[in-house]
Each structure stands twice: as C-alpha cells, then as structure tokens.
Amino acid sequence: MGGFHNLLVIHTIPQDQLDRVKKEFENVYYYPFPRDIPEEVLEAIDVIFVGRLGFSPCIKSLAELPKLWFVQAASTGLERIIPAVASISHKDVTHVHLANAAGGYVQTIPNFVISYITALLGLIPSQIYLQRTQKRWVHGDEVMADAGLKGSYVGKSIIGKTIGFLGYGTLGRESARLCSIFPKVRLIAANSDGKRKAEDGYVIDGTGDFDASLPAQMYSTNDPTSFEAFLKECDILVASLPHTKQTVGLLDSGKLSLMKPGGLFINVGRGSLIKSEHILESLDAPNGLYGAAIDVTDPEPLEDNHPLWSHPRLIITPHLSGEPENEMQTSIDILLTNTQRLVAGKDVLNKCSFETGY
C-alpha cells in the first residue's frame, strides 16, 4: 500500500483476515495482546490495528513510536486504548490519526434494542422463566405476579410511544430507523450540542439515518434545560453513549424519574452511564420504570448475587449485542478504507480524539 509499509496487529484475528492485510502492506507484524513486541518492530511500524483490550503492556507511550501515523481500533469503545497515552501530553500525538470501528456494529446492536423493547412490553422474560422452571402452561395473573405487578395481564403496545435516543451516532441512527417502522411512534434524540449532523463515518449501505432527519426534535445533553425536556418526553429511552468523562454518571434515578410513568430504559452503550443502584431505584419507584434492559453494567462484569440479577423486569445480557458474525471482516474493511483515504490525502472515517475518547 503506497504511503504505508508496516502494520502492527495487536489483536487476535482469523487467518483469512490476516491474509487480507498481508496483501496490502509490505510487512505485517502479528503480536496479539498481550505479547511483547520487539523494539525493532516498534521502531518500524506506521500503522497499528488494536483490539478492545488495548495496547500490549510493552507499549508505554505512542509518542515513543517514531514512524507511527495511524491507529485503527477494532472496536467502537476506546476506554482501554486511550490510557496508553494518558501519561503524556496529547500534543505529542497530534500527528497520529485515530479511528474506531463505529458503523460495523449496527448489524446486531439495534436488533437487540428492538428485541428488548418488545420483550419488556410483553413481560416475555417472566413468561419464559415461569414456563421453563415450572414446565407447565402459566396464566396471565401469574406472569403479572412474577413481574411484581398488580392487575390483569395485558401486552403493552409500542404504537404511539415517544422513543428517545440518548446518543445519535451509528447505533442510535440505526435503532431509530428500525423503530420508525412502528405506527405513530415519535422519535426524538439528544446529543452533546442538540444539532442535526449528517453521518460522516463508516456506514453499511441501507442502514442508519444519514441526515438525522428521523427525530422530530433534537436536544442537547450539555444544556440542562434541554436535557430535562428531552427526558420528560420519553416513554422509552435508548442509550448508546460511549464511555467518556462527559458520559460517566450522566444518568441517575432522578433523571430517569423525569420520564413518563411506566417507561422503558435500554442501555447498549457503556455501563458507566448510570450506577446499578439507580436502575433498581427507578424500577421499584412509584410510577417508575415498567422495565429496563442492559447489555452493559456498572461494574462490569456484574458480580455474583448482585441485586440486579434478580429483578423480574430487568433484562441483563452479557455484553454480547456487539458480536456480529462478520465483525472482524468489517473492522478490517474500515482499516483498509482508512489507510487508502490517508494515502489519498483524505481524513479517516470514524475519526476520534485521544483527548476526548471519541
């Protein structure tokens, strides 16, 4: 590949994908995390492909890699990658381009979002649990009792609900597109500045909301008044935010209480968005959440016997929503696309900042 010669792969990848990159670079050095990397390799590389576990311990600072020009992450989240440069001034790596693999995970995570919503509205987890454990046909009143609810069983409808997307990147956009198929739903979204932005990252054809036209209104998380107004509109809140200084603890039970009574909370971003006890408080509060579903937890992994495990209206999945069957192929697609763009004098897709973490 003209302009780039030496690729360091710090991630376990299948042989077919390793063969792909070997056709594009003069030299490919394969040292999956956490293997030590020879000094002569570190001095030669100009591109790094790094997995979600981050850089190998032998790499103390990217500023010490004299020829490094580009770092491509194989994941969307960068919280384990950024610490590799946390001890140095960010100005020392301003010449290094950084990109993540956002856009590839729309193949599965938004599907989980739809599954969570419909399962919670129908109290399907209680139905499955009762019949699997009791091995008999159960009745609606038993389902309600298992869910900790009173009254006769009715399946709630998504029709006419307001669905708010906290974070409107590739995951929020594709989740919104899928939710838009339901009749009379109202879609709204919140990002840091409350502005509609065209998608400028990697996009799989046919997915997403390129021009951010689906939300009826946009809100700002940086503006407390705007953020409060956003939450008050939500019947269903879908969070897909990354882990950054700004997103840690952004939600709590007080903010969830602003939602319409009997709402749903979905989190497919990072568990640091909200502490576990606040989710429990919101589920058990009068006029609180009807249900919640989380693919990420605080802490993660969630320890044994944590109270979250036993709540009947909470779905917990073990951070597997972002494991598409062709994940590595897509990540390598992004790597090769970005290196070609840099050689052509263009900026990378999914450009990220070492300073902000996204």
Give tens-digit pLDDT for 180-206: 999 999 999 999 999 999 999 999 999
Can you identify the CATH homologous superfamily of domain 6-105+325-343? NAD(P)-binding Rossmann-like Domain (3.40.50.720)
Q: Is there a contact between 164 and 155 (Cβ–Cβ < 8 Å)?
A: no
- 262-282 pLDDT, tens digit per residue, is 999 999 999 999 999 999 999
Closest CA to 330 of 203, 234, 222, 240: 203
Lowest pLDDT segment from 60-69, 261-270, 301-310, 327-336: 60-69
Check residue 198 and give left, alpha or beta (phi > 0: left; psi -120 to 50: alpha). beta
Name the percent of the chain lying above pLDDT 70: 97
The tokens for 310 are 């036993």
Q: Is there a contact between 226 and 197 (Cβ–Cβ < 8 Å)?
A: no
Burial 10-23 (b: 16+ CB within 10 A, else e): bbebeeebeebbee
Domain boundaries, the chain: 6-105+325-343, 109-316
* Environment class of 126 (CB within 10 Å of its CB; exposed 0-12, middle 13-18, buried 19+): buried
The pLDDT confidence band at residue 63, using thresholds 50, 70 and 90, is confident
Predicted confidence (pLDDT) at residue 301 exceeds the cutoff of 80: yes
pLDDT at residue 279, as a whole number: 98
Q: Does CATH place domain 109-316 in 3.40.30.10?
A: no
Specify the DSSP class assigned to residue 25: S
Distance from chain centroid for Cα 67: 31
> Is there a shared CATH topology between the 6-105+325-343 domain and the 109-316 domain?
yes
Q: Is there a contact between 147 and 126 (Cβ–Cβ < 8 Å)?
A: yes
Q: How far apart are CA 31 and CA 176, in angstroms?
A: 39
pLDDT at residue 42, as a whole number: 96
* Environment class of 323 (CB within 10 Å of its CB; exposed 0-12, middle 13-18, buried 19+): exposed
